[in-house]
Amino acid sequence: MLIWILILLLSAGCAVGLSFVLGPCAAWWFWLRIPLLFLATYVFWLLVFAGIVFVISLLIDKKKPVTKVHHGMRRFAVEIMHVILLAGRVRIRAEGLERIDRSKPFLLVANHRSMLDPFFPLVLLKGTEIVFICKPEILNMPVAGSFAHICGYPFIDRNNNRQALKTILHAVDILKEEQTAVGIFPEGTRNKTNEPLLPLHPGSFSIAKRAGVPIVIAVNRGTERVIPQYFWHGTKVTFSVVDVISPEQMQDLSTQEIADLTRKKLEAALSA
């Protein structure tokens, strides 16, 4: 939000300054010229910010292992996400955030409809660090891959059981040692079908059980429309926390039973 406010202030200042520099004009044209200049300078500063982000991403060595937590880069990444959403006039309706005990780590699970799905909890729960488990393909993406790497996001290859187990154990360490929340989409990939949910991977829920942390169940609605209409008009999306499963509730349940319970809660929320 701070970067967004700075961009607005710079745009407003430049618009007023340039309007006076361009010389005197009729009163009605003067007041028309300011909003036009504001729009132009607003786009200019957005492009400048995008350029800065791109250059920073080039300076990140994705082949170098991350050995320490970069809290500053995590906060900066959230600011970037916030600017992207605000620039696209994405309005987020939040529901049920009060269910989350943000003083303790938790495993956040949600349905997956868009590449931007991680943005919404990160922006809404600003101040609470959440690292999302990502597919390895993200690492090959420009900018996104660099920031996911430097922020310490774990990458999971579900086609490689040994590597997937290492990622799960790494996520458990993050929850226990860093006291940082972890987010995962148990469907494993974006749902591009007309069905409310894809099958859930039970292994995702072993993270919470191993770490002894609650599972925060959330639902994304409308997020699949953001990218297709990003440049044309604004989008309303909803991020809802529908329930929390405590460690005590999971104690006598298998990971498959936890997955089935989570699925029921997600389906009930999506059909409401």
What pairs with residue 217 in β-bridges? 109, 243
222's CB contacts (< 8 A; 6+ apart) are 235, 236, 237, 238
8 Å CB contact between 74 and 151: yes
**Alpha-carbon span 119 to 45, nearest angstrom:** 22
What pLDDT sits at residue 146? 92
pLDDT of residue 17: 78
Superfamily per CATH, domain 92-271: Glycerol-3-phosphate (1)-acyltransferase (3.40.1130.10)
User: What is the model's pTM?
Assistant: 0.89
Dihedral sign, CA of 242, 248, 252, 255?
Answer: positive
What pLDDT does residue 1 have?
A: 73
Strands 181-184 and 235-245: unpaired
- Map tokens 């953001």 to a residue: 226
Q: What pLDDT score does 22 carry? A: 66
pLDDT along the chain (272 residues), means of 10: 86 79 61 80 92 93 84 92 93 93 93 92 91 89 91 82 83 89 91 87 90 94 91 91 93 91 92 78
User: Residue 166: what pLDDT?
Assistant: 87
Contact in structure between 154 and 69 (CB atoms under 8 Å): no
pLDDT at 30 (0 to 100): 60
The token duo for 131 is: 């690292």
Q: What is the per-residue pLDDT for 33?
A: 75
